[in-house]
A and B are shown apart, each in its own frame.
Chain A
Amino acid sequence: MPGQKTLFSGIDYPYIEGLRIDEAMHPLTILAVGLYGKDLLGQNGAPLRLVVPWKYGFKSIKSIVKIELTEEKPLTTWAKSAPHEYGFYANVNPKVSHPRWSQARERRLPGGVFSPNIIDTQMFNGYADQVASLYSGMNLRTNY
């Protein structure tokens, strides 16, 4: 895409993401072909995109070109770019900060300059009831 690769970028293309099989098979994980009753537009990731609502956005990849089933956990793009900042799981977790900023609060859009819409981040983005069981017994701080 035009402007995708910049001069001093830390992202190695092709963009690679991964899910555990049980995460991929979960009813909340969606392979989307449309939005609001219409076909996906380019900016929304046409023709096929992933939606994993309890994880940080960089895992919901757009314009998927290839899906592979693997034995091993893949090295995902952001974990490769900054391993101490981004992990494989990327579950929304207000208690685990990014090394350079907190993730405990969100600024929701739409929001104005004088009326910011700030809310507390919820565990698993509010889907804890549905997905927490996937990670029972796991240390969510080390498996960030």
Chain B
Amino acid sequence: MGKLFVIATLIIPFGYLVVNTFLQAWGADPAKAIVHRSGEITLWLLILVFLATPMQRILRFGYLVKFRRQVGVAMFVYGVIHLVLYLTAYLDWDIDALAKDFIERPYIIVGGIGLLLAMPLALTSNSLSVKSLGPRWKALHRLVYGIAPLAVLHIAMQVKVDFTESIIYGVLFSVLFVLRSKKLQKRLTLIIN
């Protein structure tokens, strides 16, 4: 029951993208808006993944941990949607242009690697993989610590002049990384409870 509800909630951002497109509510540059927004959705799902354990250990809120798997897979799916929208709206599926873009826009390479690293994580987000991979499952899923900085870099490398957004995300992920420390989690639990 809970799982269905969570999955339904995870479809809402997709609904938002579709509805805005049909209503032509993206403003003067729909392509830019939808590519940017789909990227933001992907990023925020990644943030939710990192929030799961701190939420549970510090604030005793366990629902994110319980459904972290679904949130993680959703992150990858929206990452693919973000890629497909970029290929459609920016490149018109011109593969030649993609090759040129890849070479001349390093931020595309960075984003591409981030999504590529997320793929094995999404594919192994099931009980069968946990069982068959054993201790290597945990090692594989540590790749998520590489995806986060790649995401921030992907944003930062596109900045023309205003770094505020990328600095905010950089600081946010740094805080989330620091919150992995069990010692810190215990201290914060004591302070809050």
Contacts and interface: CB of A to CB of B under 8 A. Distances in A.
Interface string B72-109: 00000000000001001111101001001100111100
B31 A112 contact: yes
Nearest to A98: B104
Contacts of B28: 109-110
B30 interface: yes
Interface in B121-173: 157-158, 161-164, 167
Interface residues of B, number: 28
B34 A113 contact: yes
B21 interface: yes
B84 to A, nearest CB: 11
Most buried by B among A81, A97, A104, A107: A107
B157 A116 contact: no
A10 B163 contact: yes
Most buried by A among B21, B31, B106, B157: B31
A20 interface: no
A97 B105 CA distance: 10
Given A109-B29, A113-B85, A116-B89, A11 B161 contact: yes
A36 interface: no
Given A105-B97, A116-B90, A100 B162 contact: no
B100 A112 contact: no
B21 A113 contact: yes
A89 B28 CA distance: 29
Interface string A1-24: 000001111110000000000000
Please give me the 6 A-B residue pairs with the lowest Cβ-Cβ distance, nearest first: A102-B104, A8-B163, A10-B161, A101-B105, A113-B89, A8-B164
6 contacts: A8-B163, A81-B161, A112-B31, A112-B89, A113-B85, A116-B92
